[in-house]
Structure 1
């Protein structure tokens, strides 16, 4: 059985990417909006296309270390079957999406090839 790496609060800033499909778009949109409202966070658009390294539709929530514990716990409790990628914003995109990447739910393959070109 694959060991699950639990999110660790070791950086100043983070993104949470909530992944969804057409069937879960409405729930994901509500979840992201509620997270933004509840924790006073910046929430991006709910993309109905692949963006960046993400191989599923996603919505991005930007948060800081002071919100980490409350937000991650809340997302874990409220995400139902959705997968959420939590990653640091260290300034190194490749490391952020690999070494400093944590999953709530099943992990999703990322296309990190774009990062190796710019590092």
Structure 2
């Protein structure tokens, strides 16, 4: 098993759930302050990268995985969370991380995997 260098979690939202996403982000920043080492991305109001929805990216260490995932599971307010390890920078590693090693909370969404050399997923 490859121990991931870090993890990303993406909080998905749309125009109608923007306020809930912002509230989840604010609550998470209060629970895990800056000194916790979590890198908080901004609210993307359009799909970016392989993501089909608006999103907020969180980056955290492998050692923080259990704490972050437990917090998200209990505080996501019905939003979909997509999480994946970061095991390498190559397209092959990113494809595996996004397709084969992903953890979903809520509705599974179709990712645009062609950017990593894979096949785009269809709506599930």
TM norm structure 2:
0.81
Q: RMSD value over aligned CA atoms?
A: 1.4
Distance 2:116 2:5 in 1: 21
What pairs up with 1:21-36 in 2 under 5 angstroms?
Answer: 21-36=14-29
CA-CA distance at 1:96 after TM superposition: 0.9
User: 1: CA distance between counterparts of 2:70 and 2:109?
Assistant: 20
For structure 1, which runs of at least 5 residues remain unmatched after alignment?
1-9
Q: Distance in 1 between matches of 2:63 and 2:46?
A: 31
Paired residue secondary structure (2:58): strand
Contact 1:36 1:42 in 2 (8 A): no
Large movers: runs of 4+ above 4 Å: none
Counterpart of 2:83?
Answer: 86
- SS state of the match for residue 93, structure 1? helix
Q: How many residues align?
A: 108
TM-score (norm 1): 0.84
